[in-house]
Structure 1
Amino acid sequence: MAALVYFRKVSEDAALVRYAFGDDPDRFARHLTMDKGTRTSSSDDGRTDYAFLKASRKINALREERDQWPERGMSAS
């Protein structure tokens, strides 16, 4: 079974980056907030499910690779 999650940056300040994410790139249903200092994330709806973990990990991986917070992206497995 394939799994896809798309994300795009919604806002960013000195401490936090907020992303919308979901399985449809035209209709993001959820949001996550990433702490820039600790690089930990929290789901705005409190659900720590596979889609949330997949988006969070991909965002962190791209941040590490590019040395900046990604504007948008996707993860497939």
Structure 2
Amino acid sequence: MAALVRFRKVAENSTAVRYEFGDDPGAFSRRLTVAKGPGTPVADDGLVDHTFLKASRKINAMYAEAGQWPERGMSAS
């Protein structure tokens, strides 16, 4: 079974970065917030499912690689 999740940054301040994510970039239905420093992600709706995990892991991996929070991206498997 293939899985695809896309995300884009919607806000950033000195302590956190906020993203919207989902499988349809024209209608993202969920948001997550990553605490800067520890890189701890939190689903704004409290639902920690496969889609949330794929998005948050990819965001953190891109940050680790580039040293800056990505504007947008996707994870496919």
TM band (smaller chain): over 0.9
Question: What TM-score, normalized to structure 1?
Answer: 0.99
Superposed, 1:32-71 pairs within 5 Å as 32-71=32-71
Moved over 3 A (4+): none
Give a deviation string over 1:24-76, Cα, whole Å, max 9, x none: 11110000000011100000000000000000000000001111000000000
Letter in 2 for 1:76: A
Percent identity, aligned pairs only, is 65
Aligned residues: 77
Matched residue of 1:59: which SS? helix
In structure 2, the gaps of 5 or more residues are: none
Matched residue of 1:8: which SS? strand
